[in-house]
Chain A
Amino acid sequence: MKQLISLEINGHEYDVPVSPRDVLADVIRKKVGLTGTKKGCGMGDCGACTVLVEDKPVLSCITLAITCNGKKVTTVEGLTLPDGQLNPLQAAFVNHGAIQCGFCTPGMLMSASGLLKRTPKPTLYDIKHEMSGNICRCTGFKRIIGAIELASEAMSKGVK
């Protein structure tokens, strides 16, 4: 039943045996061992499991891993710069107080990355509208919005 699929996760090639029913979140977490991606609801309602597939934000808890065969996947671990430093978005989240319990954070960062790839200078409405699939119960969202705005500004000035 298992099939070997190939995923390009954070720039590295992984060959993983999967059952068709395996969801991407479980494959990334259990088989590849990248546990930064979180499962908050398992039904696509909270956004904690968000990763980028071909640079687009998707819910890895309801994405069949097998449908991603040969595709490029980016997880929160893939945001960190090659020297281990935080990228501007991660740094903005840390410095602006956008992280409390941190469980929604990987999903927030991935949705925000997807947003900033498409819309480098988002308006407040853009941020609210495109981020609204990610639920946070700690922060009240305000500091997450602030962090995305700061990151957008930093990235527009060429900060890497």
Chain B
Amino acid sequence: MGAWDQRENYVREGKPSYLDERRFTQVGRSVPRIDGPAKAKGEAVYTADMVLPGMVYGKIKRCKEYAHANIKKIDCSKALALPGVLAVLTGDEAPNKWGIVPASANETALAVGKVRFYGEGVAAVAAIDEETAEAACDLIEVEYEPLPALLDPFESMARAGEVNIHENAPDNILHKGDQIYGDVDKAFEKCEYILEKEFKTGRPQHGYIEPMSAVASYDTQNGLLHLWASSQVPHYLHRQMSIVLEMPMSKIRVTLPAVGGGFGGKGEAAASEFVACLLSRKIGRPVKVTFERADVFYTSKGRHPCYMKWKIGLDKDGYIQAVDFDNTMDKGAYAGWGVVVMFYTASMVHLPYKVPNARSLVRNVYTNLPTTGAMRGLGGVQPRFAMECMLDELAEMMGISPYELKMKNAIDSGYTAINNMYVPHTEYKKCLQTAVEKSGYLEKHGKLPFGKGIGLAGGYYISGTAYTLYQSYKPHTSVTLKVDTEGGVTVLCAAAEIGQGCNTVMAQMAAEALGVHYEDVHVQTGDTEIGSFDLGSFASRLTYASGYAINEAAREINFKLREMAGGLLGCRADHLEIKDRMIYSMFEPKFKIEWATVVQKYVNSVGALSAVGHFSPPRRKGIDIITGNRIQGANIGHSPTFGFSCQIHEVEVDVETGRVYVKKVTEAGDCGTAVNPMSVDGQVEGSIMFNMGACLYEDMKFDAKGKHLNPNFHDYKCPTFMEMPDMDTNIVDSYDPTAPFGVKETGEGAVQPTFPAITNAIYDAIGVRFYQVPITPEMILKALKEKKEKEAGCGCGCGA
């Protein structure tokens, strides 16, 4: 049909084409996803679709009685006696602790001795079919000794002496850290405008539509284990398997079939994977474990609720002088990504505005609720919500537009934050300008009728991390490019296609780098044995990291092909350009030969071509750039480059029912070069709806004992088609000269401004500021009532 958005390629005027590094033919095209047709035909194979010969099914028995209890006894005898049951498994058979951050690893495949949240797995069954496995789980008898359930981080800290969730955390705190840069108190003394507020965020979950699934096949003869899993981190999963199964990584292979979304929730190993592997090893047959939606709600590690205290000070001209941030986070039951997420919240105060003095006191506290972890925009969403709302409020205090205040404080390219975070390139101001112009923000803000409002917010996110989650100096991504006369071009990389489109983008970048068409490129990702090393899909890292490695590998291949072509054409190899399946002299048009011909000559005379490229990010240290002191946890937050965005939301508030309707969203994003603009738009549109959900509708709820009240999609309310606003997304012209092809991230930056943009719009509509999400209709009505009462006065004549 060819109906997709045909944007111009990024062609610059006034430069000879061979000197223009932005003259792309494959990068910058809105080509359809390469995995699209198989998905549209129902032919894409997801893990739950797999059937292996002899395969049986596993199910997990969960604790549905308590959120916190000692396990006194597990009796599996009745389950084992059920016809069709092949094996049972309990936690003490695999007691090794795993965790994506090795220092805080404290989770086991199944509970050992104790359950710490409602729905935790206590045993598992392998049986000839799912029905039997489920029936067997019901026959497992578990005796518990209930313990008080701590459902709030403050209660958890206060009662730590009496109730302890983890033995090695006597204060019930996973980790805490202080990051102090400059002299915050002194800076506040000189401030003209100071605002102090407290914020709280809810407990949303990813809601990917594909529940986790794992198929494991253990070969008893050679001791090899093959795991197929719906994961976004095949490498980290591989490591955790090795720890829990006590097998060398070289004996384990992880393969990703098609993955139905992740958003961070598949960014750690899952019980489905451990249980499938352990059961398969136990019975020597392939085992499949597929989660029900409720299993996902119990175990998938959603966003940390944050209880934040903020103080921001501006000088008389509106320049930010100091930020004081105190964050208490609800960790839930296990560590997971917790330490990392916590220090990300601290790093987020340093961008996208210039902050000369900053203090972040952060702590991550265990509770008996589902473990929190990585969720789209990890560590950024909560502080961004607060900062962007407070700047809106400070602008009002100053009597200027929030746009003016944000433009005034926005960073420029080449900025180094006080914690040594370096931003090589930014078009943040262009994002603000574009969104403001396209939405008519300045004409509307403060001028719409009561009940209608417009709100602006900005944000940024990392394009990858500086460090691995365990001590390592190896490259974060390696890509093997294989060029031959049979397969054409093949990209081999153990990255994870989870729906974000990395395979398509990698094909485009490889095609660009090699001078062929993206249709000529085959991408093989998601296999730890076939692909070259990659850390996985998180931290919006893959476009940059794989692009870098692809370029490096392509340079080697292009060098060899140029030499061969130079010989064939009788001209200097370094005069040759490779583009559009041709190799030609940039000076003499007559020297021209087809790329495929040169490949054939090369293969005939030398052999097949292959090259490996690597990417290692700059290892910037988190230091106080004034004193030079190292700061605990401050290595977290650095990135090779950063993406920026601005969103303007227009809302209508039904002041009688409290319902908030987001009518129009105008977005402008700096993602560097958009490798695939259609894909970028898709990521941004998805991001807006994703966090609109967590801002207005989505929240996991629990009763007073920690029982999950809405582990399903009818009471956990994701936005539907009906909630979708009109969305105008804009990619601002941007090119990061330090990045491969000039690229940055777009998968997580675009979720950052959504909470505050909606919250600021609600304020503009009804004059009430909210400091908590999700903002429910009941909260709106209550606030309107209070506002009305306040405006009417207290009745005593004091004027209050």
Contact = CB atoms under 8 A, between A and B. Distances in A.
A101 B41 contact: no
Interface string B180-223: 00000000000000000000000000111111000000000000
Given A38-B209, A43-B293, A145-B721, A99 B36 contact: yes
Contact of A142 (B37, B44, B712, B727): B727
Contacts of B143: none
Contacts of B722: 128-129, 132
A100 B261 contact: yes
A140 B32 contact: no
Given A35-B49, A143-B682, A109 B40 contact: yes
A38 B258 CA distance: 12
Given A43-B712, A127-B721, A140 B688 contact: yes
B714 A43 contact: yes
Contacts of B30: 97
B510 interface: no
A41 interface: yes
Given A101-B209, A102-B35, A137-B263, A37 B42 contact: yes
Contact of A91 (B1, B48, B211, B688): B1
B724 A141 contact: yes
A101 B687 CA distance: 14
A32 interface: no
Interface in A71-100: 75-77, 79-80, 86, 88, 90-97, 99-100
Contacts of B2: 95
A102 B4 contact: no
Contacts of B42: 34-37, 75-77, 106
Nearest to B714: A45
Given A42-B293, A132-B722, A137-B263, A99 B39 contact: yes
B207 A137 contact: yes
Nearest to B497: A101
A124 B46 CA distance: 32
B207 to A, nearest CB: 5
A139 interface: yes
Contacts of A35: 42, 45-46, 48-49
Interface string A107-124: 001000000000000000
A143 B727 CA distance: 11
A99 to B, nearest CB: 5
A103 B689 contact: no
B209 A104 contact: yes
B256 to A, nearest CB: 12
Contacts of A93: 36, 40
A4 interface: no
Contacts of A136: 209
Interface stretch (B89-97, B498-506, B604-612, B629-637): B498-506
B652 interface: no
B227 to A, nearest CB: 19
A29 B293 contact: no
Main secondary structure of the interface of A (DSSP, over half): loop
Contacts of A37: 42
A100 B712 contact: no
A53 interface: no
A17 interface: no
Given A42-B293, A93-B36, A101-B209, A36 B43 contact: yes
Given A35-B45, A40-B209, A140-B689, A101 B499 contact: yes
A96 B500 contact: no
A80 B501 contact: no
Main secondary structure of the interface of B (DSSP, over half): loop
A18 interface: no
B43 A140 contact: no
Contacts, number: 189
Interface in B682-702: 682, 684-690
A58 interface: no
Given A35-B45, A140-B685, A41 B39 contact: no
B119 to A, nearest CB: 16
Nearest to B207: A137
Given A45-B713, A143-B682, A132 B720 contact: yes
Contacts of B689: 140-141
A94 B230 CA distance: 22
A106 B49 CA distance: 13
Given A29-B49, A102-B44, A97 B690 contact: no
B130 to A, nearest CB: 8
Contacts of A101: 208-210, 258-261, 498-499
B20 interface: no
A45 B296 CA distance: 14
A39 B48 contact: yes
A148 to B, nearest CB: 10
B721 A150 contact: no
B685 A143 contact: yes
Contacts of B681: 97, 143
B292 interface: yes
A94 B37 contact: yes
Nearest to A135: B718
A48 interface: yes
B134 to A, nearest CB: 12
Contact of A140 (B45, B207, B724): B724
Contact of A38 (B33, B210, B259): B210
B3 interface: yes
Given A77-B41, A102-B44, A102-B260, A137 B33 contact: no
A43 B40 contact: no
A65 interface: no
A60 interface: no
A97 B713 contact: no
Contacts of B44: 102
A17 to B, nearest CB: 14
B678 interface: yes
Contacts of B499: 100-103, 138
B769 to A, nearest CB: 27
Contacts of A144: 721
A142 B724 contact: yes
Given A42-B292, A140-B686, A80 B36 contact: no
A106 B721 CA distance: 16
Centre residue among A37, A140, A150 by max chain B CB count within 10 A: A140
Given A39-B48, A80-B41, A129-B722, A137 B685 contact: no
A152 interface: no
A140 B687 contact: yes
B679 interface: yes
A136 B4 CA distance: 20
A132 B32 contact: no
A90 B686 CA distance: 20
A127 B260 CA distance: 24
Nearest to A104: B209
A75 B40 CA distance: 11
A128 B4 CA distance: 21
Contact of A100 (B3, B45, B293, B501): B501
Contacts of A97: 4-5, 30, 32-33, 678-679, 681-682
Nearest to B48: A39
A86 B714 CA distance: 33
Q: Which 9 A-B pairs have the closest CB atoms?
A: A36-B42, A101-B499, A103-B260, A102-B39, A140-B685, A45-B713, A76-B42, A35-B49, A140-B689
8 contacts: A35-B46, A40-B293, A42-B292, A86-B37, A93-B40, A129-B721, A140-B686, A141-B724
Given A35-B49, A43-B293, A137-B263, 19 more contacts: A38-B46, A38-B260, A41-B211, A41-B713, A75-B42, A90-B40, A94-B40, A96-B4, A97-B30, A97-B679, A101-B498, A102-B260, A128-B724, A131-B721, A132-B722, A133-B720, A139-B682, A140-B727, A150-B3
